[in-house]
Amino acid sequence: MTTNAHIEKKRLETPPATIKFKIQRREKEGAQAHWETFELQYRRNLNVISALMEIRKDPVTIEGKQTTPPVWDMSCLEQVCGICTMVIDGKVRQSCSALIDDLLLASNSDTVTLAPMSKFPNVRDLKVDRSKMFDHLKQVEAWIELDGTYDLGPGPHVPNELAQERYAFSRCMTCGCCLEACPQYGDDNYIGPQAIAQARLFNMHPTGKMTAEDRINGLLGDDGITNCGNAQNCIQVCPMSIPLTKAIYETNRDITVNTLFGWLKK
């Protein structure tokens, strides 16, 4: 038996009768944004997605105006696909795991505010286009080079500690929270912590190590790792608790060593 060391979660004791959802609307990319507010009956165990689903069914604003249904992205609803990320009460996070009780408790109000992420093109309402994040992965060659997919037996022995360390990086679901929060990210100035951590993930692997230089080269350009301003916002908002600042530090260290060896070779 383990000792019962955990702290019971604080719960919303006196919920309001109704909850208001203030949602940023935009018809399409480039159109003017505006706000609309919707009202729902309070009930327990509601999350932001359930609320949006209900609003979508019959979108009428608090003023009684029939409007278009809010558009947002959703898929797994278990916080592993990353798609439903938005800015909720000013904080970037996944909407599936944003429980209404917790939000009301934190804001001490009866209103939840929903806005799209600001660092990516806003397709419509709460939906954004994050395809740039997948381009980042191409830039750092975030993969293991294989000789082929035919049967060549198992991979190299790996200590469990290293496997667990890599697992932490490998949980990145490309949600973009770190980029939304990073003061340096935007206007293609900086590739950002997401790609640096993925480069690190592969550079730590016994096979990946052999092509580490290719990945590091992807981080040495004008938008490279030196643009990190060490604000450390990324690690605060990462929903998977990925040690992003450690990845940046260790990658910088690798670059220094690499530069030194490069210099010695000449």
Partner 1 sequence: MASSGLKIAIVGGGLAGLAAAMKIAEAGHEVDLISVVPVKRSHSVCAQGGINGAVNTKGEGDSPAKHLDDTVYGGDFLANQPPVKRMTDMAPEIIYLFDRMGVPFSRTKEGLMDFRRFGGTLHHRTAFAGASTGQQLLYALDEQVRKWEVGGKVTKYEGWEMLSLILDDHQVCRGLVAMNLQTLELKSFAADAVIMATGGPGMVFGKSTNSQTCTGSAVGACYEQGAKYANGEFIQVHPTSIPGEDKLRLMSESARGEGGRVWVPRDPMDARKPKEIPDADRRYFLEEKYPAYGNLVPRDIATREIFQVCLEGAGVGGENQVYLDLTHIPAEVLTEKLGAILEIYEMFVGDDPRYVPMRIFPGVHYSMGGLWVDFEQRTNIPGLFAAGECDYSIHGANRLGANSLLSCVYGGFVAAPSAMEYAKNVERGSSESNGAHAAELKRQQEINDSIIHSEGGENQYKLHEELGKVMTDNVTVVRYNDRLQATDDKIRELQDRFKNISINDSNLWATQAVPHARQLTNMLNLARVITLGALNRNESRGAHYKPDFPERDDENFMKTTIAEYSAEAPVLSYEPIDVSLVEPRKRDYSSSKKKA
CB of 122 to partner 1, least distance (A): 10
Residue 164 to residue 157: CA distance in whole angstroms: 14
Residue of 61, 109, 174, 227 interacting with partner 1 (CB under 8 A) = 174
Phi, psi of 164 (to 5 degrees): -70, -40
For residue 40, state whether it binds partner 1 (rule: CB under 8 A): no
Footprint on residues 214-243 left by partner 1 (CB under 8 A) = none
For residue 130, state whether it binds partner 1 (rule: CB under 8 A): yes
Residue 196 to residue 218: CA distance in whole angstroms: 9
Q: At which residue do the structure tokens 């690499």 appear?
A: 258
Comparing CB distances to partner 1, the nearer of 172 and 248 is: 172
Nearest distance in Å: CB 92, partner 1: 16
Q: Does 208 bind partner 1 (CB under 8 A)?
A: yes
Give me the least distance between CB of 89 and partner 1, in Å please: 17
Instruction: Decide: helix, strand or coil at residue 212.
Output: helix
| Residue of 83, 197, 237, 248 that binds partner 1 (CB under 8 A) | 83
Rounded Cα distance, 101 and 181, in Å: 24
Nearer to partner 1, 44 or 253 (CB): 44
Distance CA 61, CA 144 (A): 51
Token pair for 243: 């040690």
CB of 105 to partner 1, least distance (A): 11
Listed in order, strand segments (DSSP E) in the chain are 18-25, 34-41, 85-88, 91-94, 111-115, 122-124, 127-128
Distance CA 235, CA 221 (A): 23
Footprint of partner 1 on 41-70 (CB under 8 A): 43, 45-47, 49-50, 53, 56-59, 68-69
Dihedral angle at the C-alpha atoms of 63, 68, 69, 71, nearest 10 degrees? Answer: -120
The CB-of-16 to partner 1 minimum distance in angstroms stands at 18
**Residue 97 within binding range of partner 1, rule CB under 8 A:** yes
Touching partner 1, residues 148-167 (CB under 8 A): 148-149, 151-155, 157-160, 163-164, 166-167
